[in-house]
Amino acid sequence: MEKKELTPLSLIGGIVIAAILGMSYPFVVLKLGMGPDMSMVSAFLGAVFLNIAARKTRGQNKWQNNIIQTMSGSAAATAFMCVIMAAFSYLYSNWGKDVGFNPQWWQILVWLACSGSIGVLFIARFRKFFLDHPRMIFASGVASAVVIETLDQGEESTASESKESLLRTRALGVFGLAGALIALLRDGLSWLGEFTINKGFRVGIGFDSLSFGMGLLYPINVGISYILGALILWLGGDAVIQYGGMDVAKLGQYKAAMLWFMWPATAFMITASITSLLINFLKKREPAPVSIASGETNHSDEKDIPLSVTIGGTIVLAILLAIVQYVNFDVSPVKTIVAVAFQLVLILAGVWVLGETNTGPVSLMANGVQLLFGLIWRHDIKSNLIAAGMAGDGNSQAEQTIQTFKTGRILGSTPWAMTIAQLIGVIIGALSVAVMFPLLVHKYGIGGTGTLSAPTGLKLANVAVLINEGIGAFPRGALPASVVAVVLGIGFEILREIRVKGRAIFFWLPSAAALGFGLILPPSISMMMGAGAIFSYIWSKLWKESFDRYRTTVAAGLVVGEAVIAGLVLPVLAALGWI
């Protein structure tokens, strides 16, 4: 079968769907502070497009859809960076600080396109390292491949293949409808609520098919680590609030505790992931588990963009970014180069965390750059937030790129074609931010009496102001706790590598990435992901045949069903004023 990827049809479909998602995504992010993974939504919309526009080649469209999915997911990843624009808005509205950052649309376009493209080219050189590693799951990438393959079945399939395809299609449809219905009843009609255990700390079990579906793809230790982090946040939250002197009356219990825990959690995740990366770079690689390798095509002939293009492109983009930021934002080229160096290191850490937890620590990596940048240049809020924007954009793109590489490896796609599609998506996403952000601010407003709360933007602005005021402005005990977290992060990963007669004796240690996220995510989300992992483990032990056949399909259905409704349909209807 001839492989066709970068066809005119896949490029047209990718541009159209990327524009739709890129333009709608900023509303979701500014409203909630986070956005659902668009990989599966893109895969679903791509399948619909190709089933209409390329009916004659059904059964051979999966590679074209992978290009559409890559381009669309990339646009959404850059569109997420509207949060950095919101952070500058908060500087003025909350602190009365006008730092002189009022870029035109084309300046936003060039700025975000350069920093995002650095993330794409840089992570492309580490593709095999991450995809071959046994701890790297990239659950969304796996689920996206399931959606693409299930919705692209041709007439030439054998009887056994047709039967298997029918079973998977039915499972995908049933659980996709279930996820969509839950999202509609919960977010659209407010008919479904949450069984609340502790309202102040947002502890409860709700109707959250997206989190539960993601949990189905996690190993049991990752799921339990999420729950452990949630329990520490809940049970230790009051003590932290009191000791740290947090303003619980203004912030509420969960947010007050989270703003304390975010510092040790960030230090824990970054140091653990970097330590593990260094160890794994130096040691002989373990083979990927059979459960992972069996789902992938032979990838011995994979061809990446040449190393010279990656290195040369990254250098050229860094220089161009330095020029753009100096000319348009009055940021010293030295500061830009330092920020790029921080960005590249934290991209590797962020992708490692994503691989284990399927949750991209974009804002945490941006906070990490803010802290490192602030240690060198303390009294420069504008440059601090610009550096955070660069780090966030690069991390967001790198994380999205590696997820689509995972999808492409399962489907047998060509990495260089996917890299080109990813770079096109960066430009579409940057243009979406440049166009949509001022329109949304004008119509809805940000913060105060505005409709868009943009909590991630507020956190970035808060960190910039905090660092500007010095160490004394940090919550009491947060920095000593971060030092302890650094030691624990390094220790965890070293202990996990100790083996006696080939067996890891500290296998019971929690996942640093999942535990760190459990300390800052709403416990209701962490608990649902943990519940999904526990259910998946029990399912694998009691009904292994159905587990092997349906696990990824059920997970993909639950996630894509909710993501389409909650992440696309409802926000569009809300933007139109219909709900």
* Euclidean distance between CA atoms 141 and 355, whole angstroms: 10
pLDDT at 156 over 60: no
Contact yes or no for 84/291 (Cβ under 8 A): no
Confidence band for 481, pLDDT divided at 50, 70 and 90 = very high
pLDDT at 381 over 80: yes
3-state secondary structure 40-58: HHHHHHHHHHHHHHCHHHC
Mean pLDDT within 382-389: 92
Mean pLDDT within 394-419: 92
| pLDDT tens column, 496-515 | 888 887 787 888 888 888 89
pLDDT of residue 567: 63
pLDDT of residue 449: 56
Cα 8 to the center of its chain, rounded Å: 29
Range of 90-104, 286-300, 378-392, 465-479 with top mean pLDDT: 378-392
Mean pLDDT within 346-353: 92
Instruction: Classify residue 320 as exposed, middle or buried by CB count within 10 Å of its CB (0-12, 13-18, 19+).
Output: middle
Pick the range with the lowest mean pLDDT from 261-270, 305-314, 332-341, 380-389: 305-314
| pLDDT tens column, 62-86 | 999 999 999 999 999 999 899 899 8
Mean pLDDT within 477-488: 93
DSSP 474-487: SPTTHHHHHHHHHH
Mean pLDDT over all residues of the chain?
85
Letter string b/e over residues 75-87, b meaning 16 or more CB atoms within 10 A of that residue's CB: bbbbbbbbbbbbb
Q: Is 202 helix (H, G, I), strand (E, B) or coil?
A: coil
Contact yes or no for 546/260 (Cβ under 8 A): no
Mean pLDDT within 535-562: 89
* Euclidean distance between CA atoms 292 and 562, whole angstroms: 26
CA–CA distance from 277 to each of 130, 367, 381, 506 (Å)? Answer: 10, 20, 31, 18
Confidence band for 154, pLDDT divided at 50, 70 and 90 = low
pLDDT at 121 over 90: yes
Q: Is 500 helix (H, G, I), strand (E, B) or coil?
A: strand
CA quadruple 251, 444, 459, 138: dihedral sign: positive
Mean pLDDT within 465-486: 87
3-state secondary structure 340-375: HHHHHHHHHHHHHHHHHHCCCCHHHHHHHHHHHHHH
Residue 32's nearest CA partner among 455, 572, 529, 568 is 455
DSSP 427-474: HHHHHHHHHHHHHHHHHH-BSTTSSB--HHHHHHHHHHHHHHH-GGGS
Q: How far apart are the first and last CA of the chain?
A: 47
pLDDT of residue 291: 38
pLDDT at 409 over 80: yes
Confidence band for 288, pLDDT divided at 50, 70 and 90 = very low
What percentage of the chain exceeds 70 in pLDDT? 89
Strands 203-206 and 499-500: unpaired
pLDDT at 159 over 80: no
Strands 499-500 and 503-504: antiparallel
pLDDT at 160 over 80: no
pLDDT of residue 451: 60
Q: Helix axis angle, 220-244 relative to 253-282, nearest 10°?
A: 130
The pTM of this model reads: 0.83
* Euclidean distance between CA atoms 77 and 64, whole angstroms: 20
Confidence band for 99, pLDDT divided at 50, 70 and 90 = confident
Any idea where the domains of the chain sit in the sequence?
A: 8-575
Mean pLDDT within 107-130: 93
Q: Which single residue is written with the structure tokens 């009609």?
A: 189
How many helices, marked H, and strands, marked E, lie in the chain?
24, 4
* Euclidean distance between CA atoms 579 and 576, whole angstroms: 8
Dihedral angle computed from the Cα positions of residues 336, 342, 345 and 346, in that order, rounded to the nearest 10 degrees: -110
pLDDT at 128 over 70: yes
